[in-house]
Amino acid sequence: MGMCKLTGRILVVVGIGFFIRDIIIWAGSGLLVLSSAGEIWYSVNKESLLLAEAAIARHIPIIGPELWHPVISTILTAPIFLVILLPGLLIIFIIYKLK
């Protein structure tokens, strides 16, 4: 239970950090562009992003290709701060509801 709470808190802090990063970029450029999860993943390690798509399509029977394009690709186009922040908030909410 304690590890889940810690994980949720870390995700929330990292999500807020990415939001602050986008706000700082906005303040400097005057143009608000929220960084997507896929964009950040690509900038960190583009080979693993391309490998993940191929691996999911090839190794998950029946639904692999359909799983990548409507589901995972949608998540990858979402703002990174939401992709990280929302699961963290969900974990924290569930932990406190279980108490």
pLDDT at 33: 92
pLDDT digits (tens, 9 = 90+) for 52-94: 988 998 888 888 888 888 899 999 999 999 999 999 999 999 9
Q: Which range of residues forms the domain containing residue 19? A: 1-35+81-99
Both 15 and 46 in one domain: the answer is no
Residue 19's contacts (CB-CB under 8 Å, 6 or more residues apart) are 81, 85
Q: Rounded CA gap, 8 and 31, in Å?
A: 31
Q: Give how many domains the chain has, as a whole number.
A: 2
For the chain, the average pLDDT equals 93
Number of continuous H segments (helices) and E segments (strands) in the chain: 5, 0
- Nearest CA to 24 out of 38, 10, 9, 34 is that of 34
* 52 and 67 in a common domain: yes
**pLDDT computed for residue 87 by the predictor:** 97
Same domain, yes or no, for 68 and 87? no
